[in-house]
Amino acid sequence: MIHVKHSENGGGCVMKAPDKIYNTAVEATLEVIGGKWKPVILFHLTFGKKRNNELKILIPAITQKMLTQQLRELEEEGVVLRISYNQVPPRVEYELTDYGWSLKEILHLMCRWGDSHIERKHEGRATVLANPQLKDVYDI
């Protein structure tokens, strides 16, 4: 698809190809939050600021290298803010940006859908690790 922009001086049209073409906006969403770990990291951040070690405890299967990489990518996308405190020992926290908070509803809906899916697929023979904050997920 080519976008046509009329020049302001009346000298004709300028043809400009779009920077990127998506088949659906879902692709654009998944470009930011897709993958195995990003939605999980973002979900935990919907409950407030977290330090690196807190995220590691909440997501025990993720490696430190992968956690760092995913947090960096989420920061580059503008959905996560890295806060570095000038103290000894160094302290770093991660929180959602205003833009990142716009993902809260979809992340909590994903959690609710996941609970239903687990029950449907495993009929009570699977469990989700307890998290006292999850009551907030059902109060959307």
Domains and CATH numbers, the chain: 3-139 (1.10.10.10)
Residue 2 main-chain phi, psi, to 5 deg: -110, 130
Under DSSP, is residue 9 helix (H, G, I), strand (E, B) or coil?
A: coil
For the entire predicted model, the pTM comes to: 0.82
pLDDT at residue 138 is higher than 70: no
Contact 135, 127 (CB under 8 A): no
Report pLDDT digits (tens) over 39-88. Answer: 999 999 999 999 999 999 999 999 999 999 999 999 999 999 999 999 99
More confident residue, 8 or 101: 101
d(CA 58, CA 55): 5
